[in-house]
Amino acid sequence: SIRPILKKNIMKISAPTLTFMSVVGLAAGFAPNAATKTATSLSLSDIPMGNAGYPEVNGWSADPSKFCAGLPGAVAPLGEFDPLGLVSKYGLSVDEIKRYRESEVTHGRVAMLASLGYLVGESFHPFFGGVISGPANSHLAQVQDVAPGFFIALTAAIGASELYRAKTGWNAPPKGLSKIVDDPNSAFGARLNDDYYPGDIGFDPLGLKPKTASGFAEMQTKELNNGRLAMIGAIGMLIQETVSEQTIMDTLKTMM
């Protein structure tokens, strides 16, 4: 049965992937965020306002009349893809749409790193004395045997990056909980700041962020598409290695 195997291996992710994620996460956690610094020194009334009184961020202002409040990401051939009717049928609020997009962007970024980790980590693994080998699904368990202290650093790195992301984009708990009184249908205490663009935590070490609204929307769409593909690819590789107990490259070789 595959289920017991999946349960055993579901958390065994590529060690190089997690190492790289930790470095990126830690850097993101302590990188200066000019947008956040500016926002803290301004009141909401100082921020440019767009549609229906919503703040304008990165050239986007929420428009409740548009699909996903006008956020980029709807492209051919699927277009306005919403099979469960979360937007069209249940009429999610702008706050909820932003929260869903934040989740999508974040999971897409992790999946892109994981996909890269599967392909690179199984072929090139100089960390931990080079003793980590075999399918990436087993790498984390191997690291646990040879370097248990790694998990302390990993936990600290993830915690620091998540704390930074929460402080950058999310309402403080007291404020978030108070919003429930005004909107009982909102997520329990989970509300993004009005002047926060989903996924934009200010981490841009190479200065690639476009300066124009159209350029930012185009880059955001590309990131979303790559992230969506990576989420499908990562889960596919995880299941494939669980079933075959071979590396991705070994599996490809057997198919040639």
Q: Which of 3-17, 54-68, 122-136 has the lowest mean pLDDT?
A: 3-17
Q: What's the CA gap between 192 and 180, in Å, rounded? A: 13
- Taking the CB of residue 235, how many other CB atoms lie within 10 A of it? 13
State the average pLDDT over residues 223-229. 96
pLDDT value of residue 17: 43
More confident residue, 2 or 148: 148
pLDDT tops 90 at residue 243: yes
Predicted confidence (pLDDT) per residue in 155-173, tens digit:
999 999 999 999 999 988 7
pLDDT at 181: 66
Asked whether the predicted pLDDT for residue 211 surpasses 90, the reply is yes
Would you state the pLDDT for residue 127?
A: 85
pLDDT band at 112 (very low <50, low <70, confident <90, very high): very high
Q: Model-level pTM greater than 0.85?
A: no
pLDDT of residue 190 exceeding 50, the answer is: yes
Tokens for 74, please give them: 């709807």
Yes or no: say if 169 and 202 are a contact pair by the CB < 8 Å rule.
no
Q: How confident is the model at residue 206 (pLDDT cuts 50, 70, 90)?
A: very high
pLDDT in tens, 73-85: 998 888 899 888 8
pLDDT at 129: 84
Q: Answer for the pair 96, 69: CB distance below 8 angstroms, yes or no.
A: no
Task: Determine the length of the chain.
Answer: 256
- Residue 247 tokens read as 């590396």
**Higher confidence at residue 173 or residue 138?**
138
- Predicted confidence (pLDDT) at residue 8 exceeds the cutoff of 90: no
Residue 183 has pLDDT above 70, yes or no: no
* Mean pLDDT of the chain, nearest integer: 79
pLDDT value for 189 = 58
- What pLDDT does 52 receive? 63
DSSP 31: S
163-167, long-range: CB within 8 Å, 24+ apart, which pairs? 163/29, 164/28, 164/29, 164/30, 164/201, 165/28, 165/29, 165/106, 165/201
Query: What is the model's pLDDT at position 187?
Result: 60
The DSSP element (H or E) to which 56 belongs, if any, is: strand 56-57
Number of other CB atoms surrounding residue 84 within 10 Å: 8
- pLDDT over 90, % of the chain: 46
Whose tokens are 């690179």? That residue is: 120
**Alpha helix positions (H), 31-172:** 34-41, 94-121, 139-146, 150-169
Mean pLDDT, residues 213-217 taken together: 95
> What integer is the mean pLDDT of 177-183?
68
Residue 69 CB partners (closer than 8 Å, separation 6+) = 62, 63, 94, 97, 98
The per-residue pLDDT for 85 is 85
